Structure 1
Amino acid sequence: MTRTPLAYNLSFATPAFVGDAAQQAQWRTPPIKALIRQWWRVVKAPQVGFSVDGPDGLREAENNLFGSASDNNSHQSLVKLRLKDWAAGQLSNTAWPRREIGQIQVGQGRVRADVYLGFGPIAPASRNLGRPEPTVERLAIDPQANQRNELSVLFARTVTGSQIDEVRQAIRLASWFGGIGSRSRNGWGSITFQGNSIPRLPPSPNDLTAYCQPFRGCFTADRDWPHAIGKDDLGPLVWVGRKDGATFRNWREAVFFLATLRRDIRAAAKHFGRNEDISANQLIAYPVTKANNRRWGNDERIAGSLRLKVVETGQGLVPVAVHLPCAVPRILFDKLSSSDQQWINRYQIDIWAAIHQNIGKMMNRLGAPK
């Protein structure tokens, strides 16, 4: 590694559930590298015509740069990450600020906002049945404990200037829209990369043009992966900040807002109902609590294509949402009945359009007049 490294200061705006081998929070390079690779695909995909396989496809380019463990072409990554320290998380279950977060109305009941947004890493009170907290705690990296870090991105001497620029662009997108750890697409583990002239928030829609594709064309069978930021007549499907322009004083307020937003998004989708085995909310992400799909079972997954994030701007915390629209994964689509497949093809664009409209009621569209 002889190229001049890229250097960044890292911090979190919300607690991060980044598990080590014992599933305890710790600063680690693998999830950071995975996040960079996710956004690198968005940067690189247009250059290869969104082709995944083949001699000039995305997979080959990714393997060449980030390494491959295949039997036929195994080689090390040309990109290495180094953290200044690998400190463990400090926010424990017993110190979790339950009473400061608040509850949201969901159906006929009320749910703590952090549980609704982070079910799994965050156990509801009913899980303990009134007993004391479990003795084995799951820790999180605490954004308020000043747990910051320094990242160096190093390149092999064979890496080209254009490849370095692609990684730099991917890190910009990751800083604006990315998170790491469990439930990061719901806003947990919202990470910021400071350095190399990255603004805290995307300055304008023009900064995203190269990474956008028309929303309605993103649902073809060969686009069943998050390949681009969607755009419509108003520009990129990116929302920044609350409608009233106010910022949040702490991550608890931000989590409450995101939980409310997610609840309202799912309510908007529910208006489209369901067909035989598929429901509108299953297109947002799968599995869905109390809405199983018998063709998919409990083990299949659809990762959310709508990403929520919290960004520390210096004047307070700001919510961010971005949609990377894509088709239902082909392997899952093929398991559905013909009737359910037709239902998806008929309604999925309308479902997402309704969701976009709902987000617009709570957040400001990037570049739209205030």
Structure 2
Amino acid sequence: MIRKELTVHFNTPAFLGNAEQNGQWRTPPFKHLLREWWRVAWAEARGFNINLGEMRRTEGRLFGVAADEGDTRKSQVRIRLGRWDIGKEKNWGKGLKVFHPEVGKNGISVGSDLYLGYGPLTYDKNTKGTRLKANAGIQAGEKNDLKLAYPSTEQAMLDRALALASAFGALGGRARNGWGSLELDGGDLPGLDQLPLRDWRECLTLEWAHAIGQDENGPLIWKTGHFSNWSELMKILAKLKIDLRTSFTFNSGNNAHRPEPRHWLSYPVTNHSVRSWGRDARLPNTLRFKVRRADNGGLYGVIFHMPCKPP
């Protein structure tokens, strides 16, 4: 068995809800993150020539299967946290604001934290600011020990998955918007001289995120400047997301005959359904945000595209 001892460092607040929906350090979200990036590493190793049935069987043998009849398997990957504390982030404050042209009649300023974190975060009518929907979240800057054990035969793939999770991964509610951005220190993880890249048009042949998109100019990855704190950086990411989404104007309303460019960012879109996709189809944000630590002690944002076909 291979044993890894890592340190988890959150760069932005994380919303890891327990049974009471309070933020708490728990192992299931970390296992989910590892599985997500293991699938990317598995697909990459096969040149994205993917047999979905084979992948599911391999994943089940490695991470375990809970089945009602017959095929239950125990996970070969063991994960342990140093502690299971409740989060300490309880008083959110008003936060920063960013202008949104599609809210209200002529546009208004909205909370940047609330825009990127709606769900775990909510609007407080009394304070006219943002507050946590539940009792607590995990604060930015919190650390914890993460210990893993897995078969030596799976080391290359799992080490690759851990390295990708550290570079691009985030945990918890609204993770694709940059909340719960984490980094994994220690463990002698491999470098990322090569990334799991695929032409973005080919990515649309599969219904799950399996690669970072690229076009004729290179990887669809961008970086922001450096910021001294996460709140200022999240404001910039909120503005970027608003500007990008609203730059794609709709030419149709509900029940459109074909998807428009904005639909490919995420779906559904209020008052802009697509007939062939229906109202129940879901396409989570394919443009993802990540917050990383900079060498100078500040933070910077990473924006990357993981396109896929709507289910």
Report the TM-score when normalising by structure 1: 0.74
Distance verdict in 2 for CA 1:137–1:31, change over 3 Å: closer
Q: Which residue, out of 52, 62, 66, partners 1:69?
A: 66
Tell me the equivalent position of 1:15.
Answer: 13
1:250 aligns with 2:235: no
| Partners of 1:272 and 1:280 within 8 A in 2 | no
In 1, Cα distance between equivalents of 2:83 and 2:283: 33
SS at match of 1:181: coil
Q: How many angstroms does 1:266 deviate by?
A: 0.6
SS at match of 2:119: coil
1:39-78 superposed matches below 5 A: 39-48=37-46, 49-53=49-53, 57-70=54-67, 71-78=69-76
Tell me the equivalent position of 2:146.
Answer: 151
Tell me the equivalent position of 2:112.
Answer: 113
| Partners of 2:81 and 2:144 within 8 A in 1 | yes
Distance verdict in 2 for CA 1:73–1:325, change over 3 Å: same
Report the TM-score when normalising by structure 2: 0.87
Aligned AA for 1:257? I
Aligned residues: CA RMSD: 2.6
Distance verdict in 2 for CA 1:174–1:140, change over 3 Å: same
1:298-317 superposed matches below 5 A: 300-315=281-296, 316-317=298-299
Q: Which residue, out of 268, 288, 298, partners 2:269?
A: 288
Q: How many angstroms does 1:97 deviate by?
A: 2.9
| Partners of 2:111 and 2:129 within 8 A in 1 | no
Q: How many angstroms does 1:301 deviate by?
A: 2.6
Q: Paired residues, what number?
A: 300
| Partners of 1:43 and 1:170 within 8 A in 2 | yes
Structure ranking higher in strand proportion: 2
| Partners of 1:45 and 1:51 within 8 A in 2 | no
Q: How many angstroms does 1:25 deviate by?
A: 0.1
In 2, Cα distance between equivalents of 1:131 and 1:248: 26
Unaligned runs of 5+ in 2: none
SS at match of 1:5: strand
| Partners of 2:170 and 2:182 within 8 A in 1 | yes
1:140-219 superposed matches below 5 A: 140-144=137-141, 147-155=142-150, 159-161=151-153, 163-198=154-189, 206-208=193-195, 211-219=196-204
Structure ranking higher in helix proportion: 1
Identity of aligned residues (%): 34
Aligned AA for 2:269? V
Q: How many angstroms does 1:287 deviate by?
A: 3.2
Distance verdict in 2 for CA 1:235–1:132, change over 3 Å: closer
In 1, Cα distance between equivalents of 2:278 and 2:258: 9
Aligned AA for 1:319? G
| Partners of 1:273 and 1:280 within 8 A in 2 | no
| Partners of 1:82 and 1:151 within 8 A in 2 | yes
1:212-361 superposed matches below 5 A: 212-220=197-205, 223-240=206-223, 242=224, 246-270=225-249, 275-276=256-257, 278-291=259-272, 296-297=278-279, 300-315=281-296, 316-329=298-311
Aligned AA for 1:318? Y
Give a deviation string over 1:156-198, Cα, whole Å, max 9, x none.
xxx243x111111101111111111000001111011111345
